[in-house]
Amino acid sequence: MTTTRRGLSLLLVAGLGLVAASCGSGDANKPAANADGPVTITVGCEPPKSNPKEREAWEADVATFHTAHPNITVQGKDAFPCINPDTFQAKLAGGTQEDLFYVYYTDVQKIIQKKQAADISQYVGSVKEVNDLRKDVMSTFKDGDKTYGLPRNNYNMGLVYNRKLFTQAGLDPANPPKTWTEVQDAAKKIAALGPGYVGFGEYSAGNTGGWHFAAELYARGGSMVSDDGKTAAFNSDEGKAVLENLKKMRWDDNSMGSKQLLQWADLMRMMGGGKLGMMIGAPDVVQSVNNDFKGKFEDYGVTAVPESDGKSSLSGGDGYMFNPKASPEKIKAGLLWLEFHELTPGKGQFDYARAKSQGRPVGLPIPDLYGTSAPGTQITALRKQYATVPVDNFTPYVDAQGNITNKLEPPKAQELYAVLDVAMSAVLTRKDADINKLLSDAESKANKILAKNT
């Protein structure tokens, strides 16, 4: 899920695995998948009519695809949001999901283990870009050498900052902080601009505090849970460092402001208001600040989460899997559609010329499906060619990606985030908060949560 979706449902946060599994032996040597047809496929996550520009683009793409593949009929199924948590599991259990159903990364492995998606291994090699996809992204949809889906979106967290305030505070917006010490120094200078200015803002309510705790923990090299997912692992030196850093900025530096217990919309409203210097967030935060909170694209930049170089970043994304009842013909046809609409530079979601003509923002460095492989380089060039936002403002974020590993959200993420909200809120509202006790209490609660149904 992208960051902007968090306002709709905290259940929509998605993550990506740390271990980059192989793309599977022999995928590229599989015979090409061709729809012998005629065949009709149903595809989830068609943009709703309430989003007319994206709906128009989708319908145009369906027509273009049908011209190239007259034996294939694509029937889009629209819903907003694309996944309704109240019905998604029931549809999976009953096998009533679309032929190509939309899924968040965090659900993929559970779906595979429950055999609620088709094994597409023998067909996926027909997608010419499959071996260029980031290995850590593809690993999300794999179980051993078997493949069960393809990605549509991938991103990881970063540090969003107000370039305008950096300049006013005597900081270099082209050289944003790389360490938390540098964040502390920058935050103090921004807070010193005057009343109401906040150097660094942080969440601590509505599960968002625990979410950002995980992001900052991963960037320091820590883990939320053990490798087997059965016990908590955040009561560690890295976990303590997260809380100690925030406590210092809040109480010693006075650079975080006195208003706390903030959640999703609060920080973006502050960023749009022009008095917040920095916050943790993915690049699409800038789009939300521009579209929904009266900010301006040119005022903001994004870099990597501090200290994540050579470590990990909390990541998210989504993609498509196939109904286990889907026939081979439907799978072949579906792969042709996904290749065209989700994975081809200059087509479908990457048709930046069309997006620009529609007045949609172009230039955000997401989705990142290919890294620096040939399709990724081509997509980057197209984004720059048709950019409507200042691409250079995202250069620090883009340049850092080559040395950062995407890492999956923990199991039972929302429950763990709720537990860690308590620790986050405590250090930001109580000067005498005992970090060791807070993490110990959170660990005990988290272990009980992880012990259920494992």
What is the per-residue pLDDT for 12? 32
* Domain count along the chain: 2
Is the per-residue pLDDT at 68 higher than 80? yes
Is the per-residue pLDDT at 34 higher than 70? no
Looking at residue 303, its amino acid is T
Once rounded to an integer, what is the mean pLDDT over residues 266-277? 96
**Residue 326 shares a structural domain with residue 351:** yes
Q: What is the CATH number of the domain that holds 105?
A: 3.40.190.10
Percentage, residues of the chain above pLDDT 70: 91
Q: In whole angstroms, how far apart are CA 209 and each of 147, 172, 182, 372, 428?
A: 34, 29, 22, 32, 11
What is the per-residue pLDDT for 37? 63
**Residue 80 shares a structural domain with residue 214:** no
Yes or no: say if 46 and 78 are a contact pair by the CB < 8 Å rule. yes
Is the per-residue pLDDT at 210 higher than 60? yes
Q: Which domain holds residue 427?
A: 158-313+407-451
**Residue 126 shares a structural domain with residue 208:** no
Mean pLDDT for the chain overall: 90
Calpha distance 234→443 (Å, rounded)? 7
The model's pLDDT over 224-236, given as tens digits with 9 standing for 90+, comes to 999 999 999 999 9
What is the per-residue pLDDT for 16? 30
What is the per-residue pLDDT for 220? 97
The model's pLDDT over 340-390, given as tens digits with 9 standing for 90+, comes to 999 999 999 999 999 999 999 999 999 999 988 999 999 999 999 999 999
**Residue 140 shares a structural domain with residue 268:** no
Which of 133-137, 236-240, 292-296 has the largest mean confidence? 236-240
The model's pLDDT over 148-195, given as tens digits with 9 standing for 90+, comes to 999 999 999 999 999 999 999 999 999 999 999 999 999 999 999 999
**Residue 298 shares a structural domain with residue 346:** no
What is the per-residue pLDDT for 149? 98
Once rounded to an integer, what is the mean pLDDT over residues 227-254? 97
**Residue 416 shares a structural domain with residue 446:** yes
